[in-house]
């Protein structure tokens, strides 16, 4: 399984989303994130990816969920989901373009299909575990459970 992170920043009734210009998720809005490097913890990866994609440092980080994705273009993923807070305002990078959205205006139609099911949990600070089965980018089925500590 590929191990990765997603970091969402929520403040003042807005969520910071990241438009991917290239790579996995190209053309979609998402949180900051990506694959763990060798020897890297999920928290270290979250800080690195937030800096690389948004040119901004995390000042707070809280793990809120774990998602297993199956058969996303033939790959399985284990994704650690975080809530974070940042210092300063994000800037565009070669990889992505960050933008604040009001919570009622989240562009779910321009995101991965699964986001509409688990992102509201993140927004409401509900800890969760989930499994999503895909065929390519098409969501086939899913399960969401409460956090098991």
pLDDT at 24: 81
d(C-alpha 78, C-alpha 80), whole Å: 7
- pLDDT, tens digit (0-9, with 9 covering 90-100), for 30-43: 999 999 999 999 99
Query: Cβ–Cβ contacts within 10 Å for residue 63, how many?
Result: 15
- pLDDT, tens digit (0-9, with 9 covering 90-100), for 91-127: 998 889 999 999 999 999 999 999 999 999 999 999 9
DSSP class of 113: T
Name the 3-class secondary structure at 67: strand
pLDDT at 147: 73
Question: In this model, does residue 148 exceed pLDDT 70?
Answer: no
Residues 43-64 have a mean pLDDT of 95
In terms of residue numbers, what domain contains 73?
A: 2-146
Residue 77 host element (H or E): strand 75-87
Question: In this model, does residue 149 exceed pLDDT 60?
Answer: no
Name the 3-class secondary structure at 108: helix
Q: What is the CATH number of the domain that holds 97?
A: 3.90.79.10
């Amino acid at each position: 399984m590929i191990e990765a992170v997603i970091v969402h920043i929520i403040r003042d009734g807005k969520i910071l989303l990241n438009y991917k210009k290239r790579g996995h998720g190209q053309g979609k809005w998402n949180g900051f994130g990506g694959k763990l490097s060798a020897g890297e913890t999920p928290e270290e990866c979250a800080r690195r990816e937030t800096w690389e994609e948004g040119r901004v440092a995390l000042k707070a980080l809280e793990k809120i969920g774990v998602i297993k994705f199956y058969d996303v273009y033939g790959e399985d993923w284990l994704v650690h989901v975080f809530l974070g807070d940042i210092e300063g305002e994000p800037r565009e990078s070669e990889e992505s373009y960050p933008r604040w959205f009001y919570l009622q205006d989240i562009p779910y139609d321009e995101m991965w299909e699964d986001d509409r099911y688990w992102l509201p949990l993140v927004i409401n600070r509900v800890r969760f575990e989930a499994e999503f089965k895909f065929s390519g980018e098409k969501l086939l089925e899913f399960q969401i459970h409460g956090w098991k500590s």
